[in-house]
Each structure stands twice: as C-alpha cells, then as structure tokens.
Structure 1
Amino acid sequence: MRYEKNTRKSTRADIERQKQEEIVNARIRQFDVYFPKLDLRAALLRPLTETKTLGLLDVNCTIKGGGVSGQIGAIRLAGFLTRDSRIVERKKPGKAKARKSFQWVKR
C-alpha cells in the first residue's frame, strides 16, 4: 500500500509538464479545423517543434488566396520574408534606356 502511494505522488515539475502538455494539445486542436490533413499540420508545426516553442507562442496569421498547402507554406515562412527591394531603374538623360546607350558611330 505504501509503495503505491509513493509511486502515485508526482513532483511539482511533473504537474507543470502535464499542464504544459494539455495547453499544447488544446492549441494544436485548433489547427484541426483549418488544416485537417495530418501531413499538412505536421509541416505547419515543424518550425515550432524544431525551436521547442510549441505551445509557448501564439501565432495569428491572416492569409488570402492560394491553396491549402500554399497557405501553410506562407505561414511557415512568416517573419522570414521581406519586401523585394528590386525596383525598375529610371531612364537617365542621354541614354536610350536606364543603362543602354545610343549607338555610337566613329565615322
């Protein structure tokens, strides 16, 4: 009887770990509504599992257009994307285009 009581006692760390697991499972269930396929859900949660922040962070995303897998790819890369800074160069005076010169004839 005493042996069973000693094994049933859980430390504070175990209780905290169980609470964290319950929170994680509750948050993961929310993904089931939007992404019912298991492989897509795994791809979505992979960055969080790799960095061991699953259940610690709240992620809110607004995505428009594309398919389901495209949306998952966009969410995975959220925060890593930046604006493409390449823009069209303006035309300079004395040039045919931005960099192209007029044809030059020596004679």
Structure 2
Amino acid sequence: MADLGDLKDLVAGGEVSTAGAVAGGAPAVVEPKIDAQGRSYATGKRKNAIARVWIKPGKGKITVNGREVETYFARPVLRMLINQPFSVAAREGQYDVVCTVTGGGLSGQAGAVRHGISKALTYFEPGLRPALKAGGFLTRDSRVVERKKYGKAKARRSFQFSKR
C-alpha cells in the first residue's frame, strides 16, 4: 500500500481485517507471562493490603512472608478464601505460591493474596481468565477506610451537640 488510493481499493474489495484479530476472524492468542525461573508474578490488592505473588508449577505449597499459610493465616476461613481461585480453576495442588504481604489486617491481606493468585493464574494460563472473571476474583475490592475530616470527630460523626 503506497498511498491512500490503494487503501480505497482495499476497502472496496473487503480485504481489510480489524485490529486485534488474526486473519480469519479469530481473536488474537494471549501468550503466557512467565519469567526465567518459570514463575508468573502478579500484585493483588484489597483495602490497604498489598500482596506480591509468584506462582510456579509444584505440589501446592503456599508460603506467606516466609511462613507456611497455616501459621500465617490461622483461621480456616482465610485459608479457604486463598484457595478459592485454585478450586474454581480446578488446579488444587498444582502450583506453589510464594507471596509477601504488607499493610492492612489479616482479612484484607487474605483478600489481597487471593486477588494476586487469581491474576498470576491468568498470566500463567490465559485460558483460565473467563472462569476466574466469572467468579469475580479478578476485580479489586477497592473499599478503603474513609479519611477523617476536620471539624468532625471521625470521618462523618460530628461532635456531641450541647444546647446550653
């Protein structure tokens, strides 16, 4: 195609393909994002907690801040929350997870690890994205504590009113 006249001929002939699609109408194939050590990395967030998550094929061992997941997250509900992406994707016990978590409380940290694991799974196996997206695991829970305003006792609570 040398000039715009050739483009006009192509459009008239119906040979122009849309951007982002491979010839034939099929969508472009997404490549996995895997580093030199065979891991996928993702950052998960919830409230004020931030989790840096690396996953690689393994026996299902989860390490949080250098400790086992059973000792870091002692409550079974939090461990169940972390394992939800693997159960939805039918990948229980197939990936080792190493993550570091900062900020927030234990519940927020567990949610951040879940978000990070979900994103890392989609980077490692892009075919899992529809299942994880339908489960709502790729959506960041952006609720954070509202800041305190001046002239208020807390974020919204006013000081006690005194008539006299």
**What TM bracket, shorter-length normalisation?**
0.3 to 0.5
* More strand, by proportion: 2
| Normalised TM-score (structure 2) | 0.31
Higher helix share: 1
> TM-score under structure 1 normalisation?
0.46
Structure whose CA Rg is larger: 1
